[in-house]
Structure 1
């Protein structure tokens, strides 16, 4: 391996996880201790516009629901009166690991892929075999590969449609909870949370903290994926930093997305208004519905 390759490998191996600052009045970042869902959180309690806070048990962010136990699903229906699920995954991901719709009677599902097609490192939808090949191909700079996808999620046509639709689903809900998710609840669902929180007037530092909070709940899942990959291909042992790049939230991912929005629209409010057709009037209506 050349000097440059060794430097890149050392840089990846030494990368530390970014952990969030606590948000007063938002204990454990709204984490819901389900049996099968490791990264499901309630935005209720986050400080928002005009000194108000997001109402509890209405806005939920999560990873995919296929690992939910029957008790988890029963809690979502009984405790949160779940009425809608927005799925940001691709069709391939949905087919491979479908949400348990047959066990969620009365819930409306919205299939809104936030990325067009398969994108390794974001969707994880192709299965372990293809993931391993992709890992080998990009192992020199997996972190940079994922970071480059973040602007595409917010600014691409698919992402604009997905997040515009999410906001409209929230506006039109009948009073029950709406849950949005991707695969891990980090990238597409994480940026969906950013969109919702900014529309509700959550202060930017708290939006950022909520994004990074995934790192408090993702360790077991990431280690499990690493073990599965290494079992199938021993050469991948020791690629902890590569796996970290795919399964954890990093501040520079978030910054890349926000910088891209700033370059394209000037402000996030302008992005909401121009890219998502969600200007001040709709924001006021959303805040009246979800803030107290």
Structure 2
């Protein structure tokens, strides 16, 4: 059994990222992934028994999560939170711009649950948690970028993590082509929307800086407790080994 579940095609541990002078993100506490509905029994054993997974934050919209299912983790004692973020919808913008506009929409929309997602993930910090959507690229990428930024992770490392989803998208698209819901979505959007575009996360940070003075300002504007934000970096990061 390896370190990544074979039934998830875009899974990774977010440990080891530089988080300011002398600090790195802790391993084994925050993971990101594509959908977990196709996990094998061995995958479940890896996640729960070896990695100690306690929390699943599922960003798929309600009917999507119900229709596609939670997969075999439903049979294990793992806390499950469905925090629905809408999928990207087709429009006339270039695909790279569409990905950024998708993130900005959730950042600003009063009906988006993004603030609640970040509050919940920060409250679970330090407990092994996986954040996932369907492809694990944009909805998950947005949430992860905000969490890592709040933890003090270097922005270049956050961008690199987002781009790390790119090489996995061919396998994700091949799988989606066999699942009717996602095959239908792929048929309505430009193929490039399933790529990881380099300007997406820098554009997100530019908007956060310009509109809120940074990610912490956005979190405070969304009513996230200042004490929780103060505690969060120490729970997600640790000193580098000397």
More helix by share: 1
> 2:39·2:72 contact (CA, 8 Å) conserved in 1?
no
SS in 2 for 1:67: coil
The more displaced of 93-102 and 138-147 is: 138-147
**What is the count of residue pairs matched by the alignment?**
231
SS in 1 for 2:35: coil
Q: Which runs of 5+ in 2 are unaligned?
A: none
Alignment of 1:211-250 (within 5 A): 211-225=162-176, 242-245=190-193, 247-250=194-197
SS in 1 for 2:231: helix
> 1:143·1:242 contact (CA, 8 Å) conserved in 2?
no
Name the counterpart of 1:3. Answer: none
The more displaced of 188-197 and 281-290 is: 281-290
Instruction: Provide, for residues 239-270 of structure 1, a one-character-per-residue CA deviation record: whole Å limited to 9, x for no partner.
Output: 9x92121x222123223322332332122231
- TM-score scaled by structure 1? 0.69
Equivalent of residue 102 in structure 2, options 144, 149, 157: 149
Equivalent of residue 84 in structure 1, options 55, 61, 68: 55
Equivalent of residue 219 in structure 2, options 258, 264, 272: 272
Name the counterpart of 1:6. Answer: none
Whether 1:210 aligns to 2:161 is: yes
Name the counterpart of 1:185. Answer: 136
> 1:45·1:55 contact (CA, 8 Å) conserved in 2?
yes
> 2:60·2:134 contact (CA, 8 Å) conserved in 1?
yes
C-alpha distance in 2, partners of 1:161/1:42? Answer: 22
Root-mean-square deviation over aligned CA pairs: 2.9
Name the counterpart of 2:69. Answer: 98
Q: 1:167 to 1:140 in 2, by over 3 A?
A: closer
> 1:114·1:162 contact (CA, 8 Å) conserved in 2?
no
SS in 2 for 1:110: strand
Q: 1:84 to 1:33 in 2, by over 3 A?
A: closer
> 2:31·2:129 contact (CA, 8 Å) conserved in 1?
yes
C-alpha distance in 1, partners of 2:223/2:144? Answer: 14
Equivalent of residue 47 in structure 1, options 15, 18, 22: 18
Larger Rg: 1
Instruction: Provide, for residues 75-107 of structure 1, a one-character-per-residue CA deviation record: whole Å limited to 9, x for no partner.
Output: 000121011101111001101211126644210
C-alpha distance in 1, partners of 2:198/2:19? Answer: 21
C-alpha distance in 2, partners of 1:168/1:103? Answer: 22
SS in 1 for 2:24: coil
> 1:34·1:72 contact (CA, 8 Å) conserved in 2?
yes
SS in 2 for 1:180: strand
Q: Which runs of 5+ in 1 are unaligned?
A: 1-30, 122-133
